[in-house]
Amino acid sequence: WGQMSFWGATVITNLLSAAPYIGTELVQWIWGGFSVDNATLTRFFTFHFILPFIIAGTSMIHLLFLHQTGSSNPTGLNSNPDKVPFHAYYSYKDALGFAILLAALASLSTFAPNILGDPDNFTPANPLVTPPHIKPEWYFLFA
């Protein structure tokens, strides 16, 4: 495991220790011991892999229920004449956007898999050495 993975897990999980009464026990439960270790990083990688599938499944269930029952109109007026059918207008547009993004992500992961990674994450995790230049990830710089 890499330095940034180790220290990121350490910092983020230690934020939970500020919770009164259960903070320390909660952190130790998430760690699976008394410090960030191989089990902790494996749990985090598994969680980050499974979470998008859970979100996608929940979104599909939401869309299924929305399709079956319809959405509610707060004014109580019938707005059926203004509807545009989803299929044939937006289905093809969504399929094209999905295909473009899939091709872009597939080419990025195939030809330049480490382009967005931190170089410190190629250094093996060492709890005794803190990375010399800790800075926020690139996607936090625009927040």
35, 91, 93, 109: the active-site residue: 93
Give the Cα-Cα-Cα angle 36, 41, 43 (nearest 5 degrees).
Answer: 115
Candidate list 71, 72, 83, 87, residue with the active-site label: 71
User: Which one of the listed residues 91, 107, 109, 137 is annotated catalytic?
Assistant: 137
| Annotated catalytic residue 118 | no
**Is 93 a residue of the active site?**
yes
Tell me whether residue 120 is one of the annotated catalytic residues. Answer: no
- Smallest CA-to-CA distance from 121 within 39, 30, 28, 9 is with 9
User: Which residues does 37 contact at the CB level (< 8 Å), separation at least 6?
Assistant: 31
Q: Annotated catalytic, 94?
A: yes
Q: Across the strands, what pairs with 2?
A: 124
Which of 67, 91, 107, 109 does the annotation list as catalytic? Answer: 67
Instruction: Spot the catalytic one: 25, 91, 94, 109.
Output: 94
Distance CA 125, CA 127 (A): 7
Q: CB–CB of 137/16 below 8 Å?
A: no
> The tokens 């999980």 sit on which residue?
13
| Residues that are catalytic | 67, 71, 93-94, 137
